[in-house]
Amino acid sequence: MDLCPAESTGLSGAEEAELETIRKHRQELLDDIKKLKEEIAEMVAEFECFQEEKQEADNNPGEQTRQLSQRDKILSGGRKKFNMDPEKGIQYLIEHQVLSSDLQDIARFLHKGEGLNKTAIGDYLGRRDPKNIEILQAFVACHQFANLNLVQALRQFLWSFRLPGEAQKIDRMMEAFASWYCKCNPGVFQSTDTCYVLSFSIIMLNTSLHNPNVKDKPHFERFVAINRGIDNGGDLPEELLKNLFESIKNEPFSIPEDDGNDLTHTFFNPNREGWLLKLGGRVKTWKRRWFILTANCLYYFEYTTDKEPLGIIPLENLSVRKVDDPKKPNCFELFNPNCKGQKIKACKTDGDGKVVEGKHQSYKISAATPAERDEWIEAIRTSITQNPFYDLVSARKKKIANKN
């Protein structure tokens, strides 16, 4: 698929026009490949259903062959489709009359969650389509929050799906959670805004207390301080905050593990993607790689169609800057400003397919144009510094303050 050169400088007008034609053809090929992948995925799902049927028969050789019912086969195929594309999976199950189009039924199906990828559930519930928002509200209402403190309710809620990374999706989901919790527990908070802000404070507290990369662990007094004035301008009872703090300190949230499809879902909505040249760590040669920036990590692949990356560069504690190189233009560099001379914590696959530690003290990367370089630098800087929780909490605190 390496149809166009990594650099386009020094070309004549005719060559530029020809290059643009090649790029259009390449995009058409990529679109065709995407369609083929979707068709292959459907075929794989049907084949796996057949394998399940065959295994069932093989496990009962002395009995009359018992086949999976048609409904079970459709349900199994629909779950697999959902895990790859939630919208198509739901539509498939509705068209085959295994699931009704009633939004309450869809919500109960997602809440039950059997065989469903919890990352896919979170992605589907977080969408802004009015139908998805109704399903989200019905999904939240499937949880029994009555007489639970806020940490207990959050444990139950955050176990039923994986919270997406996009700020708008998080906002919709936590707004629905706060509304339902307050409805189940009237009188605990003066408003859903209070519940919303405190829920985020608890989630951030969980990260600060139990993430090994956070050295400055917050004390209870700090937890109290950041939640001052959030109850319609007043303070929450210290005893309530103490109980919540101790609960999280003693037992972190359990995050659900999925069935191996997480990596696929990671790349559904990247912050940025495109071809770049990367300088090798041990062997100093430039190689063209397909880069994807998402979830505070930079992934690189040999081809756009690869499912598994050649390497993963976590961006935590890293910085990015423009650099000059005598052999390549438009370069930028990823480096650790606090640990000069040390290898960056990253991983890659070696020639035998084994995952090994990266060899880079810094990563030097070349873009095709100065504009692309600057766009990548800006996107990476945003990814490094972005924490949607803080922005959402800040906006909600301003709303509470304006009311008073």
Burial track 149-161 (b if 16+ CB lie within 10 A, e otherwise): bbbebbbebbebb
Per-residue H/E/C for the chain: CCCCCCCCCCCCHHHHHHHHHHHHHHHHHHHHHHHHHHHHHHHHHHHHHHHHHHHHHHCCCCCCCCCCCHHHHHHHHHHHHHHHCHHHHHHHHHHCCCCCCCHHHHHHHHHHCCCCCHHHHHHHHCCCCHHHHHHHHHHHHCCCCCCCCHHHHHHHHHHCCCCCCCHHHHHHHHHHHHHHHHHHCCCCCCCHHHHHHHHHHHHHHHHHHHCCCCCCCCCHHHHHHHCCCCECCECCCHHHHHHHHHHHHHCCCCCCCCCCCHHHHHCCCCCEEEEEEEECCCCCCEEEEEEEEECCEEEEECCCCCCCCCEEEECCCCEEEEECCCCCCCEEEEECCCCCCCCCCCEEECCCCCEEECCCCEEEEECCCHHHHHHHHHHHHHHHHCCHHHHHHHHHHHHHHHHC
Backbone angles phi, psi at 286, to 5 degrees: -90, 130
166 is catalytic: yes
Closest CA to 105 of 84, 89, 90, 123: 90
The letter for the amino acid at 203 is I
The letter for the amino acid at 391 is D
- Is 69 exposed, middle or buried, given 0-12, 13-18 or 19+ CB atoms closer than 10 A? exposed
- Integer Rg of the chain from CA: 25
Check 166, 302, 333, 375 and give the catalytic one: 166
Q: Just list the catalytic residues.
A: 166
